[in-house]
Amino acid sequence: QKEVEQNSGPLSVPEGAIASLNCTYSDRGSQSFFWYRQYSGKSPELIMSIYSNGDKEDGRFTAQLNKASQYVSLLIRDSQPSDSATYLCAASYNTDKLIFGTGTRLQVFP
């Protein structure tokens, strides 16, 4: 059973801080990893994709992938109250089917 695991949170950080969100996956055959943001009652919104080991930066967001440790993370710099949402980690394993984690709820307080 292929799994993607996330701490459900909530993760609370003050405005302006760095939020660090983590995800592990069970299958070493996984190839592609995605971070989605989901506001309550809304659909997943793609933030970042990452396919190879190392870091990938896009604005305030940095995704990190470590395939040896089967670990993916998302860093959000200068966190804003508008970043408060559930962050979903997803992986694909040799197909385009996405396996989602349960999500980590992030709360950014002023």
Partner 1 sequence: EPEVTQTPSHQVTQMGQEVILRCVPISNHLYFYWYRQILGQKVEFLVSFYNNEISEKSEIFDDQFSVERPDGSNFTLKIRSTKLEDSAMYFCASSGDTYREQFFGPGTRLTVL
Which residues of the chain form contacts with partner 1 (CB under 8 A)?
31-32, 34, 36, 42-46, 49, 88, 90, 92, 95-103
Cβ 41 vs Cβ 68: under 8 Å:
no
Nearer to partner 1, 96 or 110 (CB): 96
Other CB atoms closer than 10 Å to residue 94's CB: what's the count?
Answer: 10
Shortest CB 75 distance to partner 1, Å: 20
Distance from C-alpha of 73 to C-alpha of 65, rounded to nearest angstrom? 7
Shortest CB 92 distance to partner 1, Å: 6
**Strand order, beta sheet including 4-5:** 4-5, 19-25, 71-76, 61-66, 54-58
User: Which pair of tokens denotes residue 101?
Assistant: 């984690």
Shortest CB 15 distance to partner 1, Å: 28
Nearer to partner 1, 64 or 86 (CB): 86
Nearer to partner 1, 15 or 45 (CB): 45
Shortest CB 93 distance to partner 1, Å: 10
